[in-house]
């Protein structure tokens, strides 16, 4: 692939999925300044990756894979300097929801609760939840995460139940 | 009929406000342009200083009381010309056209950084004629005032030593920064 093709592919991907990249960065990095660097790193990784893009998977799948890998390495690097406590899906399900659903009114509040839940999840579960929220199908999720279709289906099932339990009641009361 | 909670969350998630995505090509172009602007402003400042020196050395040569002093000022004048030419030869190149690829822009910026690399030897060769002229000027002063002592020329000697020291420190720091910036450009292309 020549340099101009690489730029064109990158520009098209950034225009189409720039918003999704930013949402993903928000889910992986809570600090605004550092998040800006992460977004830039993802864009650079994406641009670089298009030199090797062979079209064997969809553009969307490719972009998410590159973005998730970059964000995951960013989180691992940051964790060395600032250890965070992540919880597995099992542990999160067992934890009581500390946010009172009655006060969870308005979309901003719901979004902030969702973000806080995402930040607590360990990277593999976080990855699946983000892809689910971005509306990717199970096959694409499997391609991006490297999980088997069965494992993806199980995780989605559990994540949906978790979201339903945490948010349905709050919405009904809101 | 209400949406299932997960659909509502998906809509909420995807409906977040986002900014215009960062464009690598634009970012690199801005980086290269800013760097070029900094270099240009440094060169203009150097030219302004050189112009003042030309007037000063030229007038001193014109009014010199003896031939040695005149030759000294003229050597210094030629040294300023040489120094100016060496600095101007480091002027930044023209940015690649707007349609240039990111690879081309990275290549351009990397080459610019590489071109700005200097060594202490480069700086010595650049400044040497001016210092040679200063030495002859000192001889000329001694001829004009035979009772001149080392104390009379001490300020000039101190100035020269200070210049060499700061040139050495500046060159090392600049060299390190350029090496870092070049490595960043290499990271972009090599991963």
Instruction: Give the residue-averaged pLDDT of A146-161.
Output: 89
Please indicate, yes or no, whether the overall pTM of this predicted structure exceeds 0.80: no
Residue A126 and residue A70 share a domain? no
* Distance (Å) of CA B69 to CA A26, A86, B51, B86, B129: 70, 78, 21, 26, 15
φ, ψ (nearest 5 deg) of residue A23: -65, -40
pLDDT reading at B3 higher than 80: no
Residue A99 and residue A69 share a domain? no
Instruction: Give the residue-averaged pLDDT of B163-188.
Output: 89
Instruction: Give the residue-averaged pLDDT of A3-10.
Output: 80
Question: Distance between CA atoms of A65 and A49, rounded to whole angstroms?
Answer: 10
Domain's final residue, options A40, A67, A83: A83
Confidence of residue A87 (pLDDT cuts 50, 70, 90): low
Q: Kindly report the length of chain A.
A: 174
Residue A65 and residue A90 share a domain? no
The pLDDT value given to residue B191 = 55
What CATH number did the domain enclosing A55 receive? 1.10.1740.10
Domain's final residue, options A51, A83, A115: A83
pLDDT in tens, B94-137: 888 877 888 888 889 999 999 998 888 899 899 999 999 998 99
Question: Within a 10 A sphere around the Cβ of B68, how many other Cβ atoms?
Answer: 18
Residue A134 and residue A59 share a domain? no
Binary contact (A40, B22; C-beta < 8 A): yes
What is the residue-wise DSSP string for B72-106?
Answer: HHHHHHHHHHHHHHHHHTTPPPPPPPTT--HHHHH
pLDDT in tens, B9-65: 888 888 888 776 566 677 788 888 889 999 999 999 999 999 999 999 999 999 999
Residue A33 and residue A62 share a domain? yes
Burial tier of A154 (Cβ tally within 10 Å: 0-12, 13-18, 19+)? middle
Residue A150 and residue A140 share a domain? yes
Question: Distance between CA atoms of B169 and B173, rounded to whole angstroms?
Answer: 6
What is the predicted ipTM? 0.74
Question: Distance between CA atoms of B104 and A30, rounded to whole angstroms?
Answer: 35
The pLDDT value given to residue B46 = 93
Residue A89 and residue A76 share a domain? no
Across A76-85, B4-13, B160-169, the highest mean pLDDT is recorded for: B160-169
Average pLDDT, chain A: 80
Range of the domain at A9: 1-83
d(CA B160, nearest CA chain A) in Å? 44
Question: Distance between CA atoms of B165 and B148, rounded to whole angstroms?
Answer: 27
Instruction: Give the residue-averaged pLDDT of B65-77.
Output: 94
Residue A90 and residue A70 share a domain? no
Domain's final residue, options A22, A51, A83: A83
Binary contact (B6, A114; C-beta < 8 A): no
Locate the chain A residue with the closest alpha carbon to B104.
A3
User: Could you tell me the two tokens for B8?
Assistant: 């509502």
Best of B7, B20, B22, B107 to substitute, by most chain A Cβ atoms within 10 angstroms, is B22
Instruction: Say how many domains are in chain A.
Output: 2
A66 Cβ contact partners less than 8 Å away, ≥ 6 residues apart: A42, A45, A46, A49
Residue A21 and residue A74 share a domain? yes
Residue A103 and residue A74 share a domain? no
The pLDDT value given to residue A168 = 67
Question: Distance between CA atoms of B48 and B40, rounded to whole angstroms?
Answer: 12
d(CA B9, nearest CA chain A) in Å? 7
Question: Distance between CA atoms of B90 and B44, rounded to whole angstroms?
Answer: 12
Residue A69 and residue A26 share a domain? yes
The separation between the first and the last C-alpha atoms of chain B, rounded to the nearest angstrom, is 51
Instruction: Give the residue-averaged pLDDT of A136-151.
Output: 88
Residue A171 and residue A110 share a domain? yes
């Amino acid at each position: 692939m020549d340099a101009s093709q690489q730029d064109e592919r990158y520009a098209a991907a950034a225009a189409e999925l720039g918003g999704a990249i930013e949402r993903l960065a928000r889910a992986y990095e809570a600090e605004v300044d550092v998040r800006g660097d992460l977004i830039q790193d993802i864009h650079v990784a994406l641009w670089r990756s298009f030199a090797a893009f062979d079209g064997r998977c969809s553009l969307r799948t490719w972009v998410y894979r590159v973005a998730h890998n970059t964000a995951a390495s960013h989180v691992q690097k940051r964790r060395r300097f600032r250890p965070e406590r992540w919880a597995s899906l099992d542990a999160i399900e067992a934890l009581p929801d500390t946010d009172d659903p009655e006060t969870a009114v308005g979309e901003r509040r719901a979004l902030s609760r969702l973000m806080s839940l995402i930040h607590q999840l360990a990277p593999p579960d976080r990855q699946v939840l983000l892809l689910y929220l971005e509306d990717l199908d199970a096959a694409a999720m499997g391609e991006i995460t490297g999980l088997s279709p069965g494992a993806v289906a199980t995780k989605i099932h559990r994540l949906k139940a978790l979201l339903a339990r945490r948010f349905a009641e709050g919405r009904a009361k809101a | 009929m209400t949406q299932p909670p997960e659909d509502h969350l998906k809509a909420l998630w995807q409906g977040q406000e986002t900014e215009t995505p960062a464009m690598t090509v634009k970012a690199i172009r801005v980086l290269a342009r800013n760097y070029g602007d900094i270099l240009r402003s440094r060169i203009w400042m150097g030219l302004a200083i050189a112009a003042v020196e030309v007037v000063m050395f030229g007038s001193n040569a014109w009014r010199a009381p003896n031939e040695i002093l005149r030759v000294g000022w003229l050597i210094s004048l030629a040294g300023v010309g040489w120094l100016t030419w060496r600095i101007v030869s480091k002027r930044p190149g023209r940015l690649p056209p707007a349609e240039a690829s990111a690879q081309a822009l990275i290549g351009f910026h990397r080459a610019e950084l590489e071109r700005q690399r200097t060594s202490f030897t480069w700086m010595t060769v650049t400044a040497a004629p001016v210092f040679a002229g200063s030495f002859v000027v000192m001889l000329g002063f001694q001829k004009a005032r035979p009772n001149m002592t080392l104390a009379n020329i001490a300020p000039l000697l101190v100035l020269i030593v200070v210049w060499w020291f700061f040139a050495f420190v500046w060159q090392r720091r600049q060299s390190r920064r350029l090496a870092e910036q070049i490595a960043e450009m290499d990271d972009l292309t090599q991963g």
